[in-house]
Amino acid sequence: MSAFLSANANLIIILVKIALLLFIVLTVNAYLTWFERKVVAHMQSRWGPHRVGPHGLLQPLADGAKFLLKEDPTPAGVDRFTYFLAPLMALALALTSIAIIPFGPQPLHLFGHDITLGIADLNIGILALFAITALSVYGVVLAGWSSNSKYPLLGGLRSSAQMVSYELALTMSVVGVLLLAGSFNLRDIINAQAHHPEWGIFGWNIWPQILGFFCFFVAAVAETNRVPFDLPEAESELVAGFHTEYASFKFAMFFIAEYTSMITVSCLCTIMFFGGWLSPFPASWTFTHYLPSVILIPFGLWVIWDGIRYETIFGRIILPGIGTAIAAIGAVFIVFPAVNEFIQGPFWLLAKIFVFLFVYVWMRGTLPRFRYDQLMAFGWKLLLPVSIANVVITAFAILKWGAR
C-alpha cells in the first residue's frame, strides 16, 4: 500500500487536492448563498435567514436538503438528452475553471513532497479560462431550447446572445494585463506585479489598467448573468428565464454553476488587477505579517461573546465553539512563525476574493436591471470600443516606458 502510494505520489497528491478543492468550493458556494441573503436583507432593513441555525447558518443545509428531496419532474416533449446535459455541462465547466487558479506562492512541504497550492499550473492559464467561459454558453442555450417552452427559449436565446457579446469585451479587456505581464500564466501575472516589492499596493495592475479593470469587471458580471445584467434570467421575475422548467436538483446545478462562476471571476479580478496573493503593504513592513492573527483573534472572541448571549440553546453551544476555533487558528499563526509565513499569500488572496464577492452581492442589493436592448447596446457600442482603446493605449505606453 505505501509502496503504491510512494510510486504514484504525484497522482495521489493531485487527486487529494481535487477532492479537497471540490469540497471547499461547494461549501463556499453554499455559504455564499447564505452571505448573499443576509447582506441583501440587511441592505433592505430586514434580517434574512435567522431561524434555521444560529444566525441562519444552517440555512444552506436546509436548502440542500430541499433540493435533494423535492420532486424532480421532467416536462413532456423535452429533448431528453439535451435536457439532462445542459445543467451537467454548466456545472462541470464552472467547477473546472477553479482548477486553474493558483492559491499561494509557496509550496507546502508535507511527507517529503512539495505540494503547490493550485491544481494545474497551465502556461495558457487565462486562455484556458476563456475557453471554459466560451463553452459555458452552451449550458444556457441548450437549457433554454430543450425545455420545449416559450419563455425558457426566449430567455435562453437572450441570455446566450448576451454572454457571447460580452465575451468579446471580456477577452479584450484582459489583453492590457497580458501585455504588462508577458505571459498567460496566472502565477507570472502575479509575479509581474511583485516586481517592485517596496511599492506594495502601488505595484498592482489596477493603477496602469484602471480602464481594463472596469471593462473586465462589467463584462464578467454580464457573463455570469448577475445583476444588473440578469434580465434574461429574471424576465420580470414571473418566469425564471432559461431554467424555468428545471426543478430541484437540476436547478441546484445551475445555481451552483452561477455562484461558482462568481467565485472564479472574483479570483480572476484579484489575480489580474489586485496583485493576487501580494500584500498591499511594502515588503519591508514585516510587522504586517501578524495581520491575519490580529484579525482572526478578535473576530473569534467577538463570535464567542455574541454566542454566549444568543437566544437559542443550540446557538449558545455552536457559536462559542466556532469562535473558539477561529481564535485558535489566529493563535496558531502567532505561535508558529513558519505557518505564519506560509499563510500570508493565501490570506491576502482570500481576503481580496471576499471583498469582490461582497461587491457582487452589494450590486445585487442596490442596482436596477438593464433592459435588454440597453444591455446589448452597452456591450457592443461602449464596452468593446473602450476595451480595444485600452489595448492600444497600453501598447503605446509599454513602447514608451517599458513594461516596468
Partner 1 sequence: MTPQLAIFFVLAALAVLGALSLIFQRHPIHSALSLIVVMIALAGLYLLMGAEFVAAVQIIVYGGAIMVLFVFVIMLLNVGVEERTNVSKLAGVAGVPLAVALLGFLAAAIARSNESAQTGLQSGTLANTKEISTMLFREFVYPFELTSFLILVAILGAIVLAQREKS
Residues near partner 1 (CB under 8 A): 79, 81-82, 85, 122-124, 127-128, 130-131, 133-135, 137-138, 141-142, 145, 153, 157, 160, 164, 167, 171, 183-184
Q: Nearer Cβ to partner 1, position 122 or 322?
A: 122
- Tell the smallest beta-carbon distance from residue 235 to partner 1 (Å): 18
**Nearest residue (CB) to partner 1, 123 versus 286:** 123
Distance CA 328, CA 182 (A): 42
CB-wise, 18 or 85, nearer to partner 1?
85
The nearest distance, CB 373 to partner 1, in angstroms, is 17
Nearer to partner 1, 145 or 347 (CB): 145
Q: Which residues contact 137 (CB under 8 A, 6 or more apart)?
A: 160, 163, 164, 167
We find the least distance from the C-beta atom of residue 325 to partner 1, in angstroms, to be 42
The answer to whether the CB of 233 falls within 8 A of the CB of 145 is no
Residue placing its CB nearer to partner 1 in the complex, 6 or 123: 123
SS (H, E, C) the chain: CHHHHHHCHHHHHHHHHHHHHHHHHHHHHHHHHHHHHHHHHHHCCCCCCCCCCHHHCCHHHHHHHHHHHCCCCCCCCCCHHHHHHHHHHHHHHHHHHHHHCCCCCCCEEECCEEECCCCCCCCCHHHHHHHHHHHHHHHHHHHHHHCCCHHHHHHHHHHHHHHHHHHHHHHHHHHHHHHHHCCCCHHHHHHHHCCCCCCHHHHCCCCCCHHHHHHHHHHHHHHCCCCCCCHHHHHHHCCCHHHCCCCHHHHHHHHHHHHHHHHHHHHHHHHHHCCCCCCCCCCCCHHHHHHHHHHHHHHHHHHHHHHHCCCCHHHHHHHHHHHHHHHHHHHHHHHCHHHHHHHHHHHHHHHHHHHHHHHHHHHHHHCCCCCHHHHHHHHHHHHHHHHHHHHHHHHHHHHHHCCC
- The set of residues, in sequence order, having a beta carbon less than 8 Å from that of 258 and lying 6+ positions away, is 94, 224, 225, 226
Pick 29 or 147: Cβ nearer partner 1: 147
Least distance from partner 1 to the Cβ atom of residue 140, Å: 10
Min dist. Cβ of residue 161 to partner 1 (A): 8
Q: How far is the CB of 50 from partner 1 (least distance, A)?
A: 43
Kindly state the cell numbers that stand for 36: 448573499
Query: Taking the complex as a whole, how short is the minimal distance between the CB of residue 297 and partner 1, in angstroms?
Result: 45
User: 108 or 395: whose CB is closer to partner 1?
Assistant: 395
| Shortest separation between residue 374's beta carbon and partner 1, angstroms | 21
- Shortest distance, CB of residue 127 to partner 1, whole angstroms? 4
Least distance in angstroms from the C-beta of 257 to partner 1: 16
**Which CB sits closer to partner 1, 106 or 148?**
148
Considering the complex, state which of residue 163 and residue 262 has its C-beta at the smaller distance from partner 1.
Answer: 163
Between CA 390 and CA 349, with CA 222 as vertex, the angle to 5 degrees is 75
Cβ proximity to partner 1: between 12 and 40 the closer is: 12
